[in-house]
Amino acid sequence: MSEKPMLGVIPLTFVNPARLPTYETAAPARDSFGRRIDYLRVSLTDRCNMRCVYCMPAVGMQFAPRPELLTNEELLLVLRAAAKAGFRKIRLTGGEPTLRQDLVELIRQIKAIPGIEHIAMTTNALRLRKLAGPLKEAGLDRVNISIDSLDPVKFRQMTRGGNLDEVWAGIEAANEVGLTPIKLNAVVVRGMNDDEVVQLAALTIERKWEFRFIEVMPLTGVAGLANEGVISSAELIERLEAAYGTLEPLGQADSDPARRYRIPGAKGKLGFISSVTDPFCATCNRMRLTADGRLHLCLLRDDELDLRAAIRNGATLDEVEQLVRHAVYIKPWGHGLPEGVLPTLRGMSQLGG
């Protein structure tokens, strides 16, 4: 394939596998820019047991009816096809993935797919105290946990009802059973929790955790908050260095969106994810599968390819693999925020970040 695709922000509809060009099936999938795409973020549900201010609007959320979601059989078919196309890492997201009642068995089945080397999960940890052990035993490798504040009142306000004690118990349970290295995530919102960045970063001084600070993103339902609330990673680093001295730069791991640092003498690390002010599109290696079966090609664009429709129209494993490869090939270079192109199709709770 040599001709580069023309991309807009109009969502792609169902593509008939019979009408696709034939993609090389002996090599890992690459996009038209030569990037190897091998990391799939899989939303298991668009529902959540919290309502974080940067993720969902306070009212008006409409969740997908259950018949519109991929069944386990359909999801596993997609993941087998993705593995054949060269995807090696799976991250389970939501909404909140632990709301999936069959999560433990599903992870066990994903772990058995040839080619899948690593399974991680992003969670709010409200249910992790009880699930950490079974998930580890089933094959989950590690977790990212959202914790935007260490103040119980502020945490409840930002999550619209979350219980900080339960989240902390989930973090400790994950650490105890070996779902490590643990990464903690905070979306920093100006005027809400930006006054806690020094305290949050301190969690890495005595623990081998990585604390990641994430910029607010202008997704559907929270675009107004993003306009007012973004704090650049450069500003956060400046604040932390005022408290701790010059941070030790650790570089950026291949395809990892976080630029990593260390507080002098700390056991853990800090990470800064700057999707808005300093994007990392050149090294992007990921795509997203929505709970209703669409391959979402870029977090901050609306382009999608409908795998659910193909599967329910009888597509075979090889045909789904060709669709996955096609989606990879037409993946856009990056988002269009500098040009004023905003995503309008889905909110964060539907995409899993």
As a whole number, the mean pLDDT across the chain is 89
Tens of pLDDT, residue by residue over 119-143, are 999 999 999 999 999 999 999 999 9
**pLDDT of 7 higher than 50:** no
What is the four-CA torsion angle of 6, 307, 76, 122, rounded to 10 degrees?
60
Domains of the chain and CATH, by start: 17-186+281-351 (3.20.20.70)
The whole-angstrom separation of Cα 196 and Cα 188 is 9
pLDDT at 266 over 60: yes
| pLDDT number for residue 48 | 93
pLDDT per position as a tens digit, 66-80: 999 999 999 999 999
For residues 298 and 217, give the distance between their C-alpha atoms in angstroms, rounded to a whole number.
13
The DSSP bridge pattern shows strands 304-306 and 294-296 to be antiparallel
Enumerate long-range contacts of 264-267, CB under 8 Å, 24 or more apart: 265/205, 266/204, 266/205, 266/206, 267/204, 267/205, 267/206, 267/207, 267/208
Name residue 114's amino acid.
P
List the Cα angle 245/246/251 in 5-degree steps.
Answer: 145
Q: Return d(Cα 235, Cα 198) in angstroms, integer.
A: 12
**Lowest mean pLDDT segment, chosen from 88-97, 143-152, 218-227:** 218-227
* Residue-wise burial string across 25-53, b where 16 or more C-beta atoms lie within 10 A, e elsewhere: eeebbbbbeebbbbbbbbbbbbbbbbbbb
Residue 353: pLDDT band (50, 70, 90) is: low
CB neighbours of residue 247 within 10 Å: 18
